[in-house]
Structures are given as structure tokens and as C-alpha cells.
Amino acid sequence: MSGMPHDRSHLLWEGDMENGSATSLFLKSMDGWINSMIFDEQGGGSGPKNIIKGKIISKDEGVLCGKPIVNRLLEIHFSGCEVKWYVEEGGEIKNSQTVLEIKGMAEEILKVERIMLNILGNLSGIATNTEKWVKIVPRIKVAATRKTDWGLMDKWAVNVGGGYTHRLNRNDAIMLKENDFASHMRDEENYLQTISRTIEEIDLSKVDGFIIVEVQNMNEAMIVVKAWERKIQSNIKNIKIVLLLDNIDTRAVKKISEKLIKNKLREYCILEASGGIDIDSLEDWNKTDIEVISSSKLNRGVRPIDLSMLFEKEGC
């Protein structure tokens, strides 16, 4: 399933995970969240000036996520601290394992301790949870939604766990939902006619291979894909439209797919299921032919990885 439009990780990271670097977009997002955390600490209080070492140790097993963000935090706000990593981004964390060592003035490490633990704990929890989803449905891609607590950092954690980011912002893809069609409706049209016309009026020159249309039932799904088939027949861009099947159960999804196949329309679309899906229902989706599941449960309400920092005096 290469070339799925839901993978926007290239907009966050350039190169491979270990040797690559964050894009300008991701750096700006990191800085915004980091600055907010620094502000909320209100200076972080005082502390001794002696040099110490701190170790972040895991009390859980999981997938590490947050290394680039922690490095950015230290680079901008605590440049006097030195850090040594023992687990790479996306690497396996074992119980009682040392994740990193940090060396610097005790006052500075005390100020940054909780921020580092929050970043690594929360993002590693998301990456770990995402990996569990991915293993249950190896044929289907799992993707985040735009329901996030930490914006692009949540998206990054889903990516590190093996999931797809989905669109990063409202400008990252064309997405048409019920309210969009209602606002475009003309006096002489019914709702299905508006859907068909709106699809046919999409300007493909402004599309970067990612168009999503939310549908609620069989009739809407068929109208969308028929309109899309007509539209791309005369265009050199061979883009598949994404049908976002919103709160439609597996039985109804199977019927939609069967009808698309019967009408020789299945090749023009990607089927994405969303709404009401959790980790316990994933096995049922393995029995369908959808390509993508999107859910905010990948990143929201997820238990963080339990991490703690222990200190020792330099030279001990």
C-alpha cells in the first residue's frame, strides 16, 4: 500500500529516523509547545549550582518517542546541559532501562526534569499504543485524526509507533464533509446532487494527491465515486479519492465495497473507516477490505510510559 496519501511524515521529518532532521514546520510546532511548557514552569524555582548527573529510567516497556523534542528543549533553553541517549527514537524501551543521561548544573536539571519526563512519557505512550494497533491490523493502515492534545507532536508519536499521521492541518488536504456540502447547496438541488456537483468542480491543479470526502451511507458513497470516475477520465492525474466512512459498521462497509466492486468503481477510491473504532474492535475490521482506520484513540486518553529521573553527584 505504498503511496497512501495519509502518510504525511515527510512534512515533519527529512531523511531516516536516526540521521535525519525535523522540517521547519515541525520545528516551529515543537518550539510552540516547548515554550508553553517553559512558561507554565514560571522559571522552575532555584537550586544548587554544583554539577550533577541525572538518569531517566523506565519503569515500563514500550516504544521511545520524544528524543528530537527533548534535544530541541535543551538546545534552546538549557544549552549548558549535556545529554547522552541510550535508546534511539522509535527504539524499544525495557523495564528498568536507562533511557538517557543528562549532565549539568543541578539548578538547571531540576528545572527541566519534569518537562523532559512529561514529553518522553506522553509521546512514548502514544507511540507504544499505536504499535499495538498496528500489530493487530497488519494489512490496514492506522492513522491519527486532527483531534490532538499536543498537535504535530501527537502526529509524530503516531508515526514513530508505525501509524500514519493523516493530514497535518486544514490546508494539507481537501476534505469535504456534510457541512461543506450543505453550504454549497443551490436552491434547485437536493443534497445528493450537490455532492455530485461539488466533486466535479474540484480543481485538480490545486490538489496534492489527497482528497477526502466524508459519507454517511451507501447512496452518498456511490454518488461520490461515480462523480470522481467521470472527473478523472479526462485528467492525467490518477488520484484516488478517499471515502471517509463515518460511523459505519463493518457489515455496512462490506456492502458498500461489494457494490463499488460490482459497478467497477472500487479502483477509484480508498476506503477509510472512522468513528467508534477502538482497539477491541480491530479484529472485526480485518475481515473487511478497507485500507485505512483513523481514530483519535491512538493518541488521546493514552497512558504515558512511566519514567523517573535519578540524580547523582558528578564524580561519584
Mean pLDDT of the chain: 93
Angle at which helix 67-77 crosses helix 106-136, to 10 degrees, equals 160
Q: Is the pLDDT score of 176 beyond 80?
A: yes
pLDDT score at 293: 98
Position 37 scores a pLDDT of 95
Q: Which of 197, 188, 183 is nearest to 228 (CA)?
A: 197
pLDDT at 115 over 80: yes
Which residue shows C-alpha cell 499536543? 150
Residue 2 has pLDDT above 50, yes or no: no
- The predicted pLDDT at position 27 comes to 98
CA separation for the pair 251, 248 (Å, rounded):
8
Q: Is the dihedral of CA 252, 253, 254, 257 positive or negative?
A: positive
pLDDT, tens digit, for every residue of 42-84?
Answer: 877 777 889 999 999 999 999 999 999 999 999 999 999 999 9
Q: Is the whole model's pTM more than 0.85, yes or no? A: yes
Q: Which domains does the chain have, with CATH numbers?
A: 9-132+303-313 (3.90.1170.20), 138-298 (3.20.20.70)
Could you please report the per-residue DSSP string of the chain? Answer: -TT-TT--GGGTEES-TTT-EE-HHHHHHHHHHHHHHHHHHTT------SEEEEEEEESS-EE---HHHHHHHHHHH-TT-EEEESS-TTPEE-TT-EEEEEEEEHHHHHHHHHHHHHHHHHHHHHHHHHHHHHHH-TTSEEE--S--SSTHHHHHHHHHTT-B---SSTTSSEEE-HHHHHHH--TT--HHHHHHHHHHT--GGG--S-EEEEE-SHHHHHHHHHHHHHHHHT-S--PPEEEEEET--HHHHHHHHHHHHHTT-GGGEEEEEESS--GGGHHHHTTS--SEEE-GGGTSSPPPP-EEEEEEETT-
- Residue showing cell 486532527: 146
| pLDDT at 153 > cutoff 80 | yes
Stretch 109-133: mean pLDDT, rounded?
97
User: Tens digit of pLDDT for each residue in 192-237?
Assistant: 999 999 999 988 887 777 999 999 999 999 999 999 999 888 766 6
